[in-house]
Amino acid sequence: MPDLDKLTWPEAAGFFNARTVAILPVGSTEPHGPHLPLDTDVTIATAWARSAAAELEALEVPALVLPPLAYGLTNWTCGFAGRVTLRPGTLWALLEDIVLSLERDGLRRVVFANAHLEPEHVQILRGVALDHARRTSERAQVVFVDVTRRAHAQELGDEFRSGDCHAGRYESSLVLAADPAAVRERERRGLPPVGIDLIAKMRSGVSSFRAAGAERAYCGDPASASAAEGEDLLRRLSAMLVASVRETWPDLVA
């Protein structure tokens, strides 16, 4: 499961063909409570991409993990230090340019593994994928594994389905599994659960965590997180990506 940025160009040349599945981890740089680092979404997306790539290679499907995209739309964390946000058009153009660059060099199958769940950010990924919905001998096809869709969300636990999962049990478990040294354990273990009914707040027009009642940039129950749960979630996420690849490109898997 090679990471593109760790290859030399002669090594990379063997992957730039119409059979390889290129996985782009998409995250953000934004606050995730007092216990998780600003690159939480990048950590989760990269771990997910690598895990799925290993599963694809076990099926004899060549897979390449691209360098992660560390920036997205982060308007919901406005008011907290550390966020870096793009404009919607910038994110769209950046994703489009990555796909077109891969396409020009022979890659025809691209998957977005996105761990940043802000609605406007997700909408842009959906749009870019729709613009590249068909693969031809000249064009790349993009698959967006959208975990916010109901069928996928059902697999990721009660907290995730509730929407109150920003830096909560769901994301804290994943970081504990993928990068445990980055978790501030003393802070995490002492955090009380925070319920803000995020989905209802979104529907009512609220557009920031602070306005929704997440005063410390987290919601859910991070103190109940565990590395074991994070490993299980990674397996579930990887299975979703592999299933999407098999469904979209049945010619890849015997």
Task: For residues 5-34, give the mean pLDDT.
Answer: 97
pLDDT > 90? residue 135:
no
- Other Cβ atoms less than 10 A from the Cβ of 186: the count is 9
Q: Is the pLDDT of residue 161 over 90?
A: yes
Average of per-residue pLDDT across 3-13: 97
The predicted model scores a pTM of 0.97
Looking at residue 138, what is its pLDDT? 87
Residue 154: per-residue pLDDT: 95
| Tally of helices (H runs) and strands (E runs) in the chain | 11, 4
Strand ranges for 89-173 from DSSP E:
109-114, 141-144
Q: Is the backbone of residue 79 left (phi > 0), alpha (psi -120 to 50) or beta?
A: left
pLDDT for 1 equals 65
Average pLDDT over the chain, rounded to an integer: 96
Contacts of 33 (CB under 8 A, 6+ apart): 166, 167, 187, 191, 216, 217, 218, 222
Q: How many independent structural domains does the chain possess?
A: 1
The confidence score (pLDDT) of residue 213 equals 96
Compute the C-alpha angle 74/77/81, nearest 5°. Answer: 105
Q: Tens digit of pLDDT for each residue in 168-223?
A: 999 999 999 999 999 999 999 999 999 999 999 999 999 999 999 999 999 999 99
* b/e code 63-93 from CB counts within 10 Å (16+ = b): bbbbebbbbbbbbbbeebeebebbeeeebbe
Look at residue 53 and tell me whether its pLDDT is greater than 80: yes
* Contact criterion met (CB below 8 Å) for 203 and 163: no
Mean of pLDDT values over 213-238 = 98
Name residues whose C-beta falls within 8 Å of residue 26's C-beta, 6 or more positions apart in sequence: 41, 45, 68, 69, 72, 95, 112, 113, 114, 115, 116, 125
Could you list the residue range(s) of the whole structural domain that residue 97 is in?
Answer: 4-252
pLDDT band, residue 244 (cuts 50/70/90): very high
What's the pLDDT tens digit per position in 81-94?
999 999 999 999 99
- Going by C-alpha positions, the residue among 123, 97, 140, 94 that lies closest to residue 202 is 123
254 has a pLDDT exceeding 80:
no
Task: Give residue 229's pLDDT.
Answer: 98
Tokens of 5: 């940025």
Burial of 27 (0-12, 13-18, 19+ CB in 10 A): buried
CA distance 120 to 152: 19
Q: Quick: pLDDT tens for 61-83.
A: 999 999 999 999 999 999 999 99
Rounded Cα gap, residues 156 and 40, in angstroms: 17
pLDDT at 72: 98
Encode pLDDT of 104-118 as tens digits.
Answer: 999 999 999 999 999
Model confidence at 136, pLDDT cuts 50, 70, 90, reads confident
Q: Count CA atoms closer than 13 A to 133's CA, side-chain side.
A: 4
Range 228-238 average pLDDT? 98
Q: What is the pLDDT of residues 32-44, one digit of tens each?
A: 999 999 999 999 9
The CATH number assigned to the domain holding 157 equals: 3.40.50.10310
